[in-house]
Amino acid sequence: MEHTILFGADAIAGEVRRLASAIDEESTKSLVVVTVLKGAVVFSSDLVRAMDTETELVFVSASSYVDGFTPGTELTVRKDGTLGVEDRHVLIVEDIVDTGRTLQALQETIQEERPASIRTVALVDKTVRRSGSFNPTYTGFHITDEFIYGYGLDWDQRFRDLPFIAIANP
Ligand code: PRP
């Protein structure tokens, strides 16, 4: 299948470096990086390697159709069902923020654990679809209402492995 590339691998790498530096600049202590499965896995793995700040990795799964989230793998879940981020600095990583509901619900749930701080980063921001006033702390690319896939983002669970972001309806 031929893809129409919207953001190529080099552009993505540049944006990842820029976001990593911005996060580093505002981080004094180690961070608990909460990656939202599945889409954010590719971005997150590049991001943490581009950051100088020491990180601890946690994975959660979330659905934009359900209010809330469930922790992802048993390895990262504590017996008490928390992420164990009390008094820790948290960075939630998303591939895309659309209505903003997922990130907002996740942030509110994690807030209950009384972390020292919570910041959020999304590689792609689709502001036109935002339902409330929630915005990530750091955002990469801005798009309008295009359907995009690749670099973690799926099209019916396909193409997450592409090294670029493509557009389905150019
Ligand atoms: C996507 C994306 C965010 C959410 C954003 O996940 O990864 O988690 O939607 O939408 P929102 O801002 O409207 O809440 P999706 O449900 O497609 O799951 P996936 O990451 O497993 O592909």
Q: What is the pTM of this model?
A: 0.91
Report how far ligand 1's centroid is from the alpha carbon of 95 (Å).
8
Ligand 1 atom showing the smallest separation from residue 153 Cα: 22
**CB 124 near ligand 1, within 6 Å:** no
SS3 call for 86: coil
Segment 55-74 shows an average pLDDT of: 62
Report how far ligand 1's centroid is from the alpha carbon of 148 (Å).
12
pLDDT of 75: 31
Report how far ligand 1's centroid is from the alpha carbon of 37 (Å).
8
Where residue 71 falls among pLDDT bands split at 50, 70, 90? very low
The yes-or-no verdict on residue 72 having pLDDT over 70 is no
| Whether residue 98 lies in the annotated active site | yes
Of 46, 67, 87, 98, which one is the catalytic site residue? 98
> Which whole-number Å values give the CA distances from 32 to 23, 88, 96, 144, in the listed order?
13, 7, 20, 31
Q: Whose CA is nearest to atom 8 of ligand 1?
A: 102
CA distance 86 to 28: 17
DSSP 8-class letter at 124: E
Least confident range from 92-101, 104-113, 146-155: namely 104-113
Where residue 129 falls among pLDDT bands split at 50, 70, 90? confident
Q: Whose CA is nearest to atom 9 of ligand 1?
A: 64
Report how far ligand 1's centroid is from the alpha carbon of 67 (Å).
12
**CB 21 near ligand 1, within 6 Å:** no
pLDDT of 76: 39
Where residue 117 falls among pLDDT bands split at 50, 70, 90? very high
- CA dihedral 124→108→113→66, nearest 10 degrees, is -80
